[in-house]
């Protein structure tokens, strides 16, 4: 049986223009998994206010990050698409000797290439079994469950249903924790430790957790495992949550407010890591590396260092290969 692994991330506008951002946000924000307020009310807000106004404000930020990485190196187009494509290519190379029976590719939940188009293309090529691998270490209904919905849609529209399985989460997988720790240590080895390590996770509405979403708990477990791996005491690190949207309460403490408070207290240095992001994107390259850097320094803080996402680090690719091996054990040879 031919098997394909499909790495999945959130997605990106096709181009850094108001038109491209509008198309992407229309797809993204119309998903009931992403925004859970009553549909008639939300769709009126989305099409009456958000889509007419927000794309023009966000497009300049996309243009700023288009074609670059956190370390200043050039990438091809959208960073998140570039890194997801490269992760698939490098994972394919890593598995070539040990698992030549597996083909690796990638898809996006929103935008292109879609999971539906990738699965149907592979089916035409003769693939019968699929492992869908969401690149979200911590599970949330707003992210991973949206991919489950895409898988269900494929099942619902197919008479000859393929064999599809998913990676649910890997928020405390030892290889993931060690890769995060290595990325922090590499900075410390070069430039020394900052006074604080801020672990900034993408936020979700507080109500989602009240309804049973495990994301908040898993973020804290990731942070605790990472702090233990780094040997950090509780006064040297903190969890925060970024990227809130709308007027509802989101998970706290908020990243921007935390950094402003630390700046006002005169904190001399801070390192910021975003463990929930497997690839650098708008939320890390602009919101964290640029916007929140300014928040901290303008409030009176000292040195600010953003630690890039795991992206295409060899230990990250090794982690992906390990999890694939756990989910798709090799068949014994006869």
Residue positions forming the annotated binding site for Fe(2+): 202, 283
CA distance 217 to 215: 6
Q: How many Å apart are CA 204 and CA 145, to the nearest integer? A: 14
Which residues does 152 contact at the CB level (< 8 Å), separation at least 6? none
- Let me know: does 29 contact 154? Beta carbons within 8 Å: no
Which residues fall in the annotated binding site?
Answer: 202, 283
Query: What does DSSP assign to residue 78?
Result: S
In 3-state terms, the chain is what percent helix, strand and coil (to 5)? 50, 15, 35
CB atoms < 10 A from the CB of 302, how many? 15
Q: Are 271 and 237 in contact (CB under 8 A)?
A: no
- Is residue 315 within 8 Å of residue 76, measured between CB atoms? no
E strands in 12-139: 102-110, 129-134
């Amino acid at each position: 049986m031919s098997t394909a692994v499909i790495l999945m991330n959130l997605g990106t506008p096709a181009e850094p223009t108001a038109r491209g951002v509008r198309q992407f946000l229309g797809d993204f924000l119309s998903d009931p998994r992403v925004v859970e307020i009553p549909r008639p009310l939300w769709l009126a807000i989305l099409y009456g206010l958000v889509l007419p106004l927000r794309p023009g404000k966000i497009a300049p930020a996309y243009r700023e990050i288009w074609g670059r990485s956190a370390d200043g190196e050039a990438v091809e187009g959208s960073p998140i698409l570039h890194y997801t494509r490269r992760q698939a290519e490098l994972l394919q190379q890593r598995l070539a000797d040990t698992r030549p029976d597996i083909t690796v590719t990638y898809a996006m939940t929103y935008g292109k290439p879609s999971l539906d188009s990738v699965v149907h293309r592979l089916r035409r090529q003769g693939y019968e079994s699929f492992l869908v691998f969401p690149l979200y270490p911590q599970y949330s209904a707003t992210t991973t469950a949206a991919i489950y919905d895409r898988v269900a849609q494929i099942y619902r529209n197919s008479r000859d249903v393929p064999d599809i399985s998913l990676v649910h989460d890997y928020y405390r997988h030892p290889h993931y924790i060690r890769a995060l720790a290595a990325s922090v240590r590499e900075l410390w080895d070069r430039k020394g430790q900052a006074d604080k390590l801020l672990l900034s996770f993408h936020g979700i509405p507080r109500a989602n957790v009240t309804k049973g979403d495990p994301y908040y708990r898993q973020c804290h477990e990731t942070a605790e495992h990472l702090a233990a791996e780094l040997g950090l005491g509780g006064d040297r690190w903190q969890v925060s949550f970024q990227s809130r949207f709308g007027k509802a309460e989101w998970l706290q403490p908020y990243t921007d407010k935390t950094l402003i408070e630390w700046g006002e207290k005169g904190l001399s240095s801070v390192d910021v890591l975003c463990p929930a992001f497997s690839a650098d994107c708008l939320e890390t390259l602009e919101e964290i590396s640029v916007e929140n850097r300014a928040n901290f320094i303008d409030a009176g803080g000292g040195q600010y260092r953003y630690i890039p996402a795991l992206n295409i680090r060899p230990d990250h690719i090794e982690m992906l290969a390990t999890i694939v091996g756990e989910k798709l054990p090799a068949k014994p040879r006869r």
